[in-house]
């Protein structure tokens, strides 16, 4: 097991109520674990707890089989952390930034040039990163978090602010790393990302994990039995929904199919977003 959290809780100093109440979860080696939840539900806080940026949590966490409180500085050789907002030295160039951060590690690091190329960023740009666009800075931050080739990678909203082509590039990169065995803790609001990449997803609501399962199993469990039929009534097109869970609706559906000229029949499969709404009673905001 790469991460084991038991009763993880946290209250910001001076605040009356806990932000994180009590989380229990485990992340296996090579697993992509999606951490989803509405704004302010505590996703970033949880990432900060697991990466030792915020001390003073309650409960028990072990990472790489060792208690998180007892980890040495070498812990950071084995984790990559990409924050919600780019954190870079704005006055330095991209290569200087990567070179600077690479110095902190006691393990072999990636060549800055390779990192830039992998993220579709310019090589040899002499401008300070303050002159770069927001999306470019985010990708550079992402690249920075991969410098030490971490077996455990934390990503907080990695596709935010990316145009569609670069969002695809990032999804491919995440998949590639997962296939190579990297364990990934992925915070996101993007349901496509979650559905496509995550082996399991946890829905965080009010500082608690409300549901934890594989996206496919969640969708199956919340499958509705709604069928939408489009048919002709004289020259007019009519759309009607049938809840096939009830016998009366089933009969009405069969009758319609027998007697009318049907154009289309669709069952309504829930998306991960539908499941989220149903489980939490809220939107992702």
Ligand X SMILES: Nc1ncnc2c1ncn2[C@@H]1O[C@H](COP(=O)(O)OP(=O)(O)OP(=O)(O)O)[C@@H](O)[C@H]1O
Q: Which residues bind ligand X (CB under 6 A)?
A: 12, 15, 19, 37, 39-45, 84
Smallest distance, Å, CB 42 to ligand X?
4
In the complex with ligand X, the residue whose CB is nearer, 44 or 145, is 44
Question: What SS3 state is found at 60?
Answer: strand
**Segments of the chain assigned E as strands:** 3-10, 20-27, 32-36, 58-63, 66-67, 79-82, 152-156, 183-187, 200-205, 208-213, 226-233, 236-243, 261-267
Smallest distance, Å, CB 84 to Mg ion?
5
The item of Mg ion, ligand X, none sharing an interface with residue 15, based on CB under 5 to 8 Å by kind, is: ligand X
Burial of 65 by CB count in 10 Å (0-12 exposed, 13-18 middle, 19+ buried)? exposed
The residue with its CB nearest to Mg ion is 44
Smallest distance, Å, CB 237 to Mg ion?
45
In the complex with ligand X, the residue whose CB is nearer, 204 or 218, is 204
The item of ligand X, Mg ion, none sharing an interface with residue 133, based on CB under 5 to 8 Å by kind, is: none
Residues that bind Mg ion (CB under 5 A): 43-44, 84
Smallest distance, Å, CB 252 to ligand X?
43
Q: Residue 80 in contact with residue 105, Cβ under 8 Å?
A: no
Q: Residue 174 in contact with residue 197, Cβ under 8 Å?
A: yes
In the complex with Mg ion, the residue whose CB is nearer, 35 or 253, is 35
In the complex with ligand X, the residue whose CB is nearer, 56 or 181, is 56
Report the Cα 24 to chain-centroid distance in Å: 18
Smallest distance, Å, CB 154 to ligand X?
12
The item of Mg ion, ligand X, none sharing an interface with residue 19, based on CB under 5 to 8 Å by kind, is: ligand X
Contacts for 160-165 with beta carbons within 8 Å, 24 or more apart?
160/84, 160/189, 160/190, 161/134, 161/135, 162/135, 162/138, 163/135
């Amino acid at each position: 097991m790469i991460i084991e959290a038991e009763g993880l809780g946290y209250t910001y100093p001076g605040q009356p109520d806990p932000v994180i109440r009590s989380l229990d979860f485990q992340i296996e080696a090579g697993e992509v674990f999606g951490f989803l939840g509405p704004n302010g539900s505590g996703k970033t806080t949880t990432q900060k707890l697991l990466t030792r940026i915020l001390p003073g949590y309650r409960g028990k966490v072990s990472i790489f089989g060792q208690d998180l409180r007892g980890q040495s500085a070498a812990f950071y050789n084995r984790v990559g952390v990409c924050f919600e907002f780019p954190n870079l030295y704005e006055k330095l160039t991209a290569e200087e930034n990567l070179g600077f951060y690479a110095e902190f590690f006691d393990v072999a690091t990636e060549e800055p040039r390779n990192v830039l190329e992998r993220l579709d960023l310019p090589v040899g740009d002499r401008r300070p990163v303050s002159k770069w666009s927001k999306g470019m800075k985010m990708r550079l931050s992402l690249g920075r978090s991969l410098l030490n080739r971490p077996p455990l990678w934390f990503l907080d909203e990695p596709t935010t602010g990316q145009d569609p082509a670069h969002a695809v590039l990032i999804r491919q990169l995440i998949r590639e790393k997962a296939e190579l065995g990297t364990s990934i803790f992925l915070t996101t609001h993007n349901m496509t990302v979650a559905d496509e990449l995550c082996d399991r997803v946890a829905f965080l609501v009010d500082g608690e994990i409300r549901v934890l399962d594989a996206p496919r199993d969640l969708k199956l469990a919340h499958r509705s039995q709604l069928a939408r039929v489009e048919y002709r009534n004289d020259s007019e097109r009519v759309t009607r929904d049938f809840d096939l869970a009830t016998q009366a609706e089933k009969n009405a559906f069969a009758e319609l199919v027998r007697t009318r000229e049907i154009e289309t029949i669709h069952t309504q499969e829930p998306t991960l977003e539908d499941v989220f709404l149903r489980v939490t009673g809220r939107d992702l905001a």
